[in-house]
Amino acid sequence: MCITKSMLIFSMPLKRKLIVCADDFGIDHAICTGIVYGHTQGIITSTALLMNAPFTGFAIELSKDAPDLEVGLHLSIVEGYCLSGQLSKSLLDPENYFSQRPCLHRNWKQFLKKFCLGQISMLELEREFRMQIEAFLTEIGPIPFLNSTQHLHCLPPIGKLVVSLCQEYGIKNIRLPKSIDRGARLNSRKIQAELLQSLSRRLRKKTSLRAPDLAFGFTNAGALTRDLILGFLPQIQENEVAEIMAHPGHDSATLRELLPQSYGTYNWSGELAALVDPEIKLKMSELGIELATFSTCASFETGPAGLSQDMHPKLSPIKSRNFDFQR
């Protein structure tokens, strides 16, 4: 019998891959050190770096001691310094909650209200995004993946802008999952997840950017536990790439005080404990789930055989203008 190429492809084992991404790298000293600990001692594979946070410089230096930790961009729409400052008045919070520098809106509800009322300038938003992207390119290099604070990049007009910037700057991977918290119990946060999922699906149809198939951690942001993760792992199907969206760290009284609406109930240390629990790795091995990064995943948008057309995409370096940010 003649063995064809297609027969060989379909006989290959289908993989389950898991990216574990820790958001908010750079926002606080305790969060930064906790994330690196979770990488070296647990299952964190990637982290999303804020280029406009009090400890951005510290996070960059810390990441040099963890060369296998993939560092992408956590595009800041709220909760951070406004790099464009007074040039972007519609983006500014009334108070400079991080030192005396101009700051972005301190929480997503405040931003969303102004956005829906047409009080946010898209030109100012684009300027701010470009400054954050170019700061990353200058300090670190090509951006392996992008997500955003509070997932606000999924809002249609903002999403269109972000996708355009990703294409311009050579960013190939983005957080736009087809499924979010599959099987989670219905509550107000799950309803938000369903809306976010709908927006993500709509946006990903219009772009060639790659994104994980499913994501977990939205409805339990700041409260992930070992048992929740163990319950999620069996939901990853053959040939799927999944992402755990995590917020681990050591506890930060500073963040609770400065941004209580966002972080008042966050259990960073609890999430960190879950992500270093050895039972998670044992369960992954039992289910045949491999840890991965955005850079190492062969493909997110898989064909019938689950193989990539571009197994190892190369990001072209982009020359960026000089930028000085807070260290």
Per-domain boundaries in the chain: 19-292
Length of the chain: 327
Residue 172 has a CB neighbour count (10 Å cut-off) of 21
The C-alpha atoms of residue 169 and residue 167 are separated, in whole angstroms, by 6
The C-alpha atoms of residue 285 and residue 25 are separated, in whole angstroms, by 28
Strand partners, 21: 46, 245
Nearest by Cα to 204 from 162, 149, 235: 162
- Report the helix count and the strand count for the chain, using DSSP H and E: 12, 8
Residues lower than pLDDT 50 in the chain: 1-13, 301-327
What digits encode the pLDDT tens for the residues 250-267? 999 999 999 988 888 999
The model's pTM is 0.84
For the record, the structure tokens of 26 come out as: 């750079």
CA distance to 202, 301, 323, per residue, from 304 (Å): 22, 10, 45
| Contact call for residues 26 and 53 (beta carbons, < 8 A) | yes
pLDDT number for residue 248: 98
Q: What top-level class would CATH report for the domain 19-292?
A: alpha beta
| Contact call for residues 69 and 36 (beta carbons, < 8 A) | yes
pLDDT number for residue 155: 81
Q: Which residues contact 5 (CB under 8 A, 6 or more apart)?
A: none
Q: Which residues contact 62 (CB under 8 A, 6 or more apart)?
A: 32, 33, 36
